[in-house]
Amino acid sequence: DKGNHRHFMQKEIYEQPVVVAQTLRSYLRRMENQIAMPDMDFDLAQVKRITIVACGTSFYAGLVAKYWIEKFARVPVDIDVASEFRYREPVLESGGLALFISQSGETADTLAALRHARAEGQIIAVVVNVPTSSMAREADLLLPTHAGPEIGVASTKAFTCQLAVLAALAANLARAKGKLTPEEEADIVWHLSEAPAALNQALARDGQIESMAHLIAPARDVLYLGRGPDYPMALEGALKLKEISYIHAEGYAAGEMKHGPIALIDDAVPVIVIAPSGPLFEKTVSNMAEVQARGGKVVLISDADGIAIAGEGCMATIEMPQVHPLIAPLVYAVPVQLLAYHVAVAKGTDVDQPRNLAKSVTVE
């Protein structure tokens, strides 16, 4: 049932504050200011290396997790898309932790990769939305997302719930490794608890985003740029746009622009820049200026501070709430989802059932 929404995708975008809160409830102990994980029959402190494997949007959640885990826990992370992992003969030392991320828990390549990792002596952790799925059953450590059923083919609420679980996991691992003081842990708990309210504030931009869809809908190509943990959000924004609106889009690490793609820039290629305030802001903005100097039309997604500094000269800006860099990827998922959604609606495509795509990819 779509309720009063036009599409399941729209409904699921709007459910995010509630389902992220629901997911966080099982990983945060607010009273104790602590992160909580399900019981494990292995010692997280002994984990020396993590291998993350997933497909599509779930893979992008994994890319964000790599930044978080390496930053907070100082544990090295390898990451692959499942269809590459399986065939590249990865070196997996026994006792390593392999982490699989999947909404459905049935994606064929991810499931095969899980079985390969198990055969290679890895401990198997899964972040999965369907609790009765094959991946959930085959896990040593099951980390559920509580997004509820996701009907729209394009993943939205499952993704932000994955990010919430992965942030909690990164913090828990950091604690196990002695890299997090109780004060730092309390700080992370606090910022994660703020995420649902920040998601609501991001959703409040919906009307404004809808009104700028006509700027993107006629484009043949769109570029998305981001840095650090917001680089995967550029990849995710591009994936959402191409899968539901059929516009060709690419996500790039902002600093990679000058190594090739800047040659594409002209006034017909909109460039979406994802740049929350924070330590990486200035660098991203200088990449944005390089685009503008070549006539590129920029849509800047940032907060009030960022827009005050860099908003002038942009084709449009989308203002997000001022949030801690830790939760920025969750919050900035919303405007890229909404932008793709409204562009697709403007183009009249089948938003919930895009051509050639299936909700669960059970072929390899």
What is the set of active-site residues? 359
> In whole angstroms, what separates CA 32 from the centre of its chain?
28
Contact between 139 and 124 (Cβ < 8 Å):
yes
Residue 363 CA to residue 159 CA, distance in Å, equals 22
Listed ranges 5-13, 49-57, 189-197, 308-316: which one lies at the site for ligand F6R (CB under 6 A): 49-57
The interface with ligand F6R within residues 280-319 (CB under 6 A) comprises none
Minimum Å gap between C-beta 27 and ligand F6R is 19
Task: Dump the DSSP string for 119-187.
Answer: HTT-EEEEEES-TTSHHHHT-SEEEE-------SSS--HHHHHHHHHHHHHHHHHHHHTT---HHHHHH
DSSP state of 277: S
- 23 near ligand F6R, rule: CB under 6 A: no
- Using the minimum distance from each CB to ligand F6R, give the nearer residue, 96 or 105: 105
Listed ranges 16-24, 56-64, 170-178, 254-262: which one lies at the site for ligand F6R (CB under 6 A): 56-64
Indicate which single residue of 17, 56, 232, 237 sits in contact with ligand F6R (rule: CB under 6 A): 56
Minimum Å gap between C-beta 351 and ligand F6R is 12
The interface with ligand F6R within residues 225-264 (CB under 6 A) comprises 239, 243
Using CB atoms within 10 Å of the CB of residue 157, give its burial: 0 to 12 exposed, 13 to 18 middle, 19+ buried: buried
Residue 112 CA to residue 103 CA, distance in Å, equals 16
A 10 A CB-CB count for 235 gives 22
Q: How many residues bind ligand F6R (CB under 6 A)?
A: 15
Of all residues in the shown chain, the one whose CB is closest to ligand F6R is 56
- Using the minimum distance from each CB to ligand F6R, give the nearer residue, 79 or 314: 79
Minimum Å gap between C-beta 101 and ligand F6R is 7
Indicate which single residue of 143, 154, 167, 223 sits in contact with ligand F6R (rule: CB under 6 A): 154
- 155 near ligand F6R, rule: CB under 6 A: yes
The interface with ligand F6R within residues 177-206 (CB under 6 A) comprises none
Indicate which single residue of 55, 98, 161, 318 sits in contact with ligand F6R (rule: CB under 6 A): 55
Minimum Å gap between C-beta 51 and ligand F6R is 16
Minimum Å gap between C-beta 165 and ligand F6R is 13
Residue 303 CA to residue 322 CA, distance in Å, equals 5
The interface with ligand F6R within residues 90-119 (CB under 6 A) comprises 102-104, 107, 110
Minimum Å gap between C-beta 68 and ligand F6R is 19
- Using the minimum distance from each CB to ligand F6R, give the nearer residue, 82 or 167: 82
Which CA distances in Å does 15 have to 9, 199, 204, 282?
10, 10, 13, 33
Sheet with 270-274: list strands edge to edge.
248-253, 221-226, 270-274, 297-303, 316-320
Residue 98 host element (H or E)? strand 97-102
Contact between 102 and 58 (Cβ < 8 Å):
yes
Question: E strands, 203-291, where?
Answer: 221-226, 248-253, 270-274
A 10 A CB-CB count for 208 gives 14
Minimum Å gap between C-beta 110 and ligand F6R is 5
Indicate which single residue of 57, 122, 145, 160 sits in contact with ligand F6R (rule: CB under 6 A): 57
DSSP state of 353: S
Tokens of 272: 């979406």
- Using the minimum distance from each CB to ligand F6R, give the nearer residue, 107 or 245: 107
Contact between 276 and 302 (Cβ < 8 Å):
yes
- Using the minimum distance from each CB to ligand F6R, give the nearer residue, 77 or 239: 239
- Using the minimum distance from each CB to ligand F6R, give the nearer residue, 165 or 288: 165
- Using the minimum distance from each CB to ligand F6R, give the nearer residue, 237 or 325: 237
Residue type, 348: G
Q: Which residues bind ligand F6R (CB under 6 A)?
A: 55-58, 102-104, 107, 110, 154-155, 239, 243, 360-361
